[in-house]
Chains A and B, each alone.
Chain A
Amino acid sequence: MLELLPHLLHQALFGAFAAAGFGVLFNFGFRALPWCAGAGALALAVRTLGQDMAWSLEGASFAAAIVTSCAVSILRRQLGPACNAVALSGCIPMVPGAFFGQALLGFFALTAPNPDDAVVTAIMAVEHILRVVFTLGAIGAGLAIPAQLLRNQDF
């Protein structure tokens, strides 16, 4: 377990930076940015732990989103109605944008006049797009379920 710690800390640290960076883009105030960073670190830590236990990316993302959403729900007295937004910002580093791009580039490659390894390219592209759909679904469901069950207030 200890040998996994540096990787876990690395993922949590850069998850925190990514979430806080996007928090600035989304115009979170400076007081809310540490919460975004904390949510990002938590989400990436849980996802990394899940993947280290050989869970799929989708399963690990689902668990990470649920844990993050539950954590901000516990903190809703401090965060107020912004708690759902903080959870979402924490999960943004898990959005599979790179898979999305690679899937589309794969589909572009298939339409070339004489594609190399068309079958392999097609399978890779389909695999990537399925991962995008399932991972986005996992994140969305993982965020929504605790928020609905714990009745987080939007206002």
Chain B
Amino acid sequence: MESNSDPIIVRHRELETYANAALRLGRVMMECGASVSVVHAGMRMVVQGFGVDDVSMRSGYASLEMTLHVGGTTITRMLQVGRLGVNHRLDQAVRQLAVRASKGGMAVDEVDAELARLVRDTPRHPAWVVAVAVGIACASFGRLLGIDWLAFGPVLVAGCIGQYVRHQLLHRGVNVFIVAGVIAFLSATLGGIGAMLLRSSSVNLAMMASILLLVPGVPSTNAQTDIMDGYPTMGSARAVWVLMIMIFAAVGVWFAEALLGLRS
């Protein structure tokens, strides 16, 4: 009971709630595809809204750390970050929450509740809509690469099916690199078979276009942004992740080409 009234412990507990709220907000931003400098800015805005100005932060690929210092009391807390993806609407909504929190007047519980509400209620496109959109994007990519019109339909269908199956596999918690390899094999095989059946003259390009849903465009530009912003460790980690995804995707295409007899 004595410890509950100890002003240092009380202050520690208070700072801990600030840090945890900011870390939770930073985690959501990171998982939505924000760069490190933006995540740090968002977390800083939240704790500044609580009246803390002396803040230090560090970001790893899978964790965030924050140290708060107020009047001789210092705490450091760390939070694990989940799989990094891209979710624009949630990212923007959380940024707006950080702006509101930075103006002061929001309690820790309010920030936490609002963050939980945003994560729960921010709309996402249905999986089938995303699948169709990605199929169209892959076929469009294919046209930009130079596939003929005969291969357009097969690439569109292969992209749709690939994206839908990827969504299901990731939803079931399958490793993201395994998913990349499996989807590359599936999409390249479907796109290649379709292009062959329709006697397209760009079968190889059609197979490559069918897997372009896997190319991690946002992480690769985020890698560069992080390095330019002074976070080379995180930038390098993102670049290695991009390379690994592409290696698994290329292995999938390699097996698809071997299956279709396009590789000696």
- List chain A positions with a Cβ less than 8 A from chain B: 10-11, 14-15, 17-29, 32, 44, 81-82, 85, 88, 91-93, 95, 97-98, 100-102, 104-105, 108, 116, 136-137, 139-141, 143-144, 154-155
Chain B contacts for A28, CB-based, 8 A: 88-89
Report the Cα distance A97→B80, complex, angstroms. 30
Given contacts A17-B137, A26-B88, A155-B99, 4 further A-B contacts (CB under 8 A): A21-B136, A27-B90, A28-B88, A81-B92
Chain A contacts for B250, CB-based, 8 A: 100-101, 104-105, 108
Given A21-B140, A105-B254, A108-B254, CB of A82 within 8 Å of CB of B134 = no
Q: How far in angstroms is the closest Cβ of chain B from A120?
A: 15
Q: How far in angstroms is the closest Cβ of chain A from B135?
A: 8
Chain A contacts for B144, CB-based, 8 A: 11, 14-15, 18, 44, 93
Chain A contacts for B220, CB-based, 8 A: 95, 136
How many A-B pairs have beta carbons closer than 8 Å: the answer is: 142
B95 touches which of A15, A17, A141, A155 (Cβ 8 Å): A155
Q: How far in angstroms is the closest Cβ of chain A from B238?
A: 12
What is the 8 Å Cβ interface bit string for chain B, positions 220-264, against chain A (1 contact, 0 not)?
Answer: 110011001000000000000000001101110110010000001
Chain A contacts for B190, CB-based, 8 A: none
Given A14-B143, A27-B124, A97-B215, CB of A105 within 8 Å of CB of B253 = yes
A15 near B246 with CB under 8 A, answer: no
Q: How far in angstroms is the closest Cβ of chain B from A101?
A: 5
Taking each of B37, B135, B213, which has the highest tally of chain A beta carbons within 10 Å of its own beta carbon?
B213
A139 near B221 with CB under 8 A, answer: yes
A18 near B140 with CB under 8 A, answer: yes
